Amino acid sequence: MSIAMNSDHDHNATFDLFGAAVARRFASIDESRPLFTVDAGDLYSLYLATFREGEERQHYTCSCCRQFIQRFGNLAVIEGDGSITSVMWGQDENLPEIFRSASAALARAVGRGPVSGVFVSNEQRWGTPVTGGVYSFDGPKEWHHFAVTPQPSRLHRDRLPTPHQVMAQKKQDFGTLSHGLADFSRETVAAAVNLLEAEAMYRGEKVIGPARFLLDLHDKIATYNGERRRNLIWRAVATAPVGFATPRSSMVGTLLEDLAEGMSVEVVQRRFADKMHPLQYQRPQAAPTAGNIVQAESIVAKLGLAPALRRRFARLEEIKAIWKPQPARDEPAAGGVFGHLKAGQNAPSDPNKASVTSITWVKFEATVLPKAKSIKVLVKGLMNFAGVVTAVDPDAPPILQWDREGERNPVSWYVWNGGSSPISWRLPDQAWIEATGIMLKPSMWSGEDRASHQGKGAVIILDGAKETRTNAGLALFPECLRSELHSIRATIEAFSKRGQLEGADEGSANGLMVGDRGLDAVVNVVTDLGSASYKIDRWD
């Protein structure tokens, strides 16, 4: 609604109060809460109908305010009980009397209407606050209108997908998730979660998140029906990580289908393990089509990802270490017969003769690492060696799921299916190798929850471990890439297979991966009290 600066009309003098109230109400909504569009009917006509016919209604007829009400007037948040609250309008006795009816009527209409979608925008201002600046006999005139400024965290900043594409995908996800809830009963989903939490499923960490999400939603909507039930599903869709709202088209869906059909646990486990094999899971099984290659060129160009496709081996100083060896202290030689001895120092023991204690990684990290002065690992036979790689260009845009513009982490890893030998990493077989550091998986550097589906793991970095093979490709695996690249994963993988990692000679962050099943190697740790050998048999 407009107001002329130099008008004496009482109606004009009060509109700014209404506009300011709308802006305050919107600003009071927690910015972490997603916004939804509501099918509330013709809100602008409802707004005008609250004014008296004639001059008053004509005065508040405004194209800018009409556009605001039509585009943003139906925005709402969904409460925990499934009810809807308008983010622009409400019952407000502090408003000028002429606008109280309009605000209340619009709030009621939004609160009653069905949710029609998730709202996403990259516009820094919603609405046009001021127009005019026209000079008249009374001086310059300008008109004020409804407008709000969204918090920066509300803005969609990705080049792809666009806000329109995100909203369209969320609408599709709502239908898919609704069908998934109907197709898979709570009992079936609970059975899947129990198997996954018991670590009875191979690589189950990849799907435990979506399974828990589905179970939690089943419990949340159990006591609701009708629109409130629908609204709670919309609420879940808005905040669901990529892939969580599409159970039918994901690996958790195949697990649920097998359980729903009454297959035995043994059969379910075997079928799941086959599908989750590292060479199968999310890996394209055919060469990319010409159309997919064209699409990939377009997406990579729009996202500016070409520099990110060059990868090299990482150096020790580039990783986030949770442990490094303590440097030996240089002490002046003392005279006398016993000068070669140091007070409080035990004689080093032979790691080959030490008894081996089984220990979990969690306990090893908490109780052994803080006291460890040096660590060495006995390498022999096929082992779970890991190559640690990063971007050639440190300023290249993020391409990995755990990399963020505000918190860069372009480091990733790869292991060889079936393991690899020490000789393949320029290390002698049947030898003790010094550890130069220990790091968690790069996907865990910002906390275990950011990319929990990547599983838990740590790399014991070994002195001199360098990749000798040149057929590892670029180690750009679909399950590690940004979700925007999912549709072109066939092209990305083909590119990765034909590429070659750079800087093999300079790479100094390679080592042995400790996973859910521990590490099949003996680890010798030296502390101030002497040395002890451990076998890390599982994560926790």
**Is 389 within a domain?**
yes
Same domain, 453 and 528: yes
Residue 324: CA count within 13 A, CB half-sphere: 8
Written as one letter, the residue type at 387 is: G
- Angstrom distance (rounded) from CA 292 to CA 491: 7
Q: Could you tell me which of 276, 283, 250 has the C-alpha nearest to residue 492?
A: 283
Of the residues 154, 184, 216, which one is the last residue of a structural domain?
Answer: 154
Radius of gyration of the chain (CA): 31
Distance spanning both ends of the chain, measured CA to CA: 62
Cα torsion angle, 131, 93, 88, 106, sign: negative
Same domain, 263 and 405: no
Query: What is the value of pTM for the model shown?
Result: 0.79
**Is 287 within a domain?**
no
Same domain, 134 and 234: no
Same domain, 504 and 381: yes
Same domain, 74 and 125: yes
Same domain, 143 and 244: no
**Is 533 within a domain?**
yes
Q: Which domain holds residue 497?
A: 303-328+347-538
Q: Could you tell me which of 243, 265, 255 has the C-alpha nearest to residue 173?
A: 243
Same domain, 382 and 529: yes
Written as one letter, the residue type at 38 is: V
Q: Could you tell me which of 387, 328, 323 has the C-alpha nearest to residue 523?
A: 323
| Neighbour order of strands in the sheet with 35-38 | 84-86, 75-78, 35-38, 115-119
Placement of tokens 């707004």 in the chain: 47
Same domain, 510 and 396: yes
Four-CA torsion 85, 87, 89, 95, nearest 10 degrees: 120
**Is 472 within a domain?**
yes
**Is 342 within a domain?**
no
Same domain, 469 and 438: yes
Contacts of 31 (CB under 8 A, 6+ apart): 151, 153, 154
pLDDT at residue 330 in the model: 58
pLDDT at residue 11 in the model: 53
Of the residues 119, 154, 189, which one is the last residue of a structural domain?
Answer: 154
Same domain, 316 and 404: yes
Structure token pair of residue 536: 């890390």
Same domain, 413 and 265: no
Which residue spans within 91-172 are E strands per DSSP? 115-119, 126-127, 130-136, 139-144, 147-148
Same domain, 99 and 17: yes
356-360 and 126-127 strand pairing: unpaired
35-38 and 84-86 strand pairing: unpaired
Tens of pLDDT, residue by residue, the chain (540 residues): 554 434 434 555 689 999 999 999 999 999 999 999 999 999 999 999 999 999 999 999 999 999 999 999 999 999 999 999 999 999 999 999 999 999 999 999 999 999 999 999 999 999 999 998 655 555 557 889 999 999 999 999 988 899 999 999 999 999 999 999 999 999 999 999 999 999 899 999 999 999 999 999 999 999 999 999 999 999 999 999 989 999 998 999 999 999 999 999 999 999 999 999 887 887 777 889 999 999 999 999 999 999 999 999 999 999 999 999 998 765 555 556 555 555 444 545 677 777 999 999 999 999 999 999 999 999 999 999 999 999 999 999 999 999 998 899 999 999 999 999 999 999 999 999 999 999 999 999 998 777 888 999 999 999 999 999 999 899 999 999 998 998 999 999 999 999 999 999 999 999 999 999 999 999 999 999 999 999 999 999
pLDDT at residue 146 in the model: 97
pLDDT at residue 96 in the model: 94
**Is 245 within a domain?**
yes
pLDDT at residue 139 in the model: 53
In total, how many domains does the chain have? Answer: 3
For 98-121, give the secondary structure using H, E and C: HHHHHHHHHHHHHHHCCEEEEECE
3-state DSSP call for residue 90? coil
Backbone angles phi, psi at 432, to 5 degrees: -90, 125
Contacts of 49 (CB under 8 A, 6+ apart): 105
**Is 426 within a domain?**
yes
**Is 5 within a domain?**
no
Write b or e for each residue in 385-423: b if 16 or more Cβ atoms lie within 10 A of its Cβ, otherwise e: bbbbbbbbeeebbbbbbbbeeeeebbbbbbbbeeebebe
DSSP state of 509: -
Query: How many C-beta atoms surround the C-beta of residue 255 within 10 A?
Result: 29
Of the residues 110, 127, 154, which one is the last residue of a structural domain?
Answer: 154
- Angstrom distance (rounded) from CA 154 to CA 122: 8
Alpha helices in 184-250 (DSSP H): 186-197, 208-221, 226-239
